[in-house]
Structure 1
Amino acid sequence: MEYEEFEKNTLHEIKSSQIIAISNVCFYLIISATKLIVGHFVNSTALKADGYNGATDTLSYLIIFLGLMFAKRPVDQFHKFGYAKAETLATLMTSVLISETGMWVIYKGICALVNRNDSRPDFLAAFVGIGIGLLTFIVFLINRHIATRINSKPLLASSHDQRLDAITSVTTGIVIVISSLGFAWLDKLNAIIIGVFMMRTAYKIFDSSAFRLIDGFDKGKLNTFKLEISKFKKIKKIQQIQGREYENDIYLSVVVQVNHKMTVEETTKLRDNIQEDLQKKYGIFKLDMQFSTK
Structure 2
Amino acid sequence: MMWNVQNSYEEVVRDRTTGKLYLVATPIGNLEDMTYRAVRILQEVEIIAAEDTRETRKLLSHFDIQGKKLYSHHEHNKWSSGPELVRLMEEGQSIALVSDAGLPAISDPGAELVRLSIDAGIKVIPIPGANAALSALIASGLGTERFLFVGFLPRDRKRMDDALESFRLESGSCLLYESPHRVVKTLERMLEVLGDRQVVLAREITKRYEQFVRGSITECLAYLQDHAPLGECVLVVEGMSEELRLQEPDALWWNSYSVKEHVEHYEQQQGLTHKEAMKAAAKDRGVSRRDIYQELLAE
Aligning the two structures, in what range does the TM-score lie when normalised by the shorter sequence? under 0.3
Structure with greater helix share of residues:
1
- Higher RCO (C-alpha 8 Å, min separation 6): 1
- Superposition TM-score, scaled by structure 2 size: 0.23
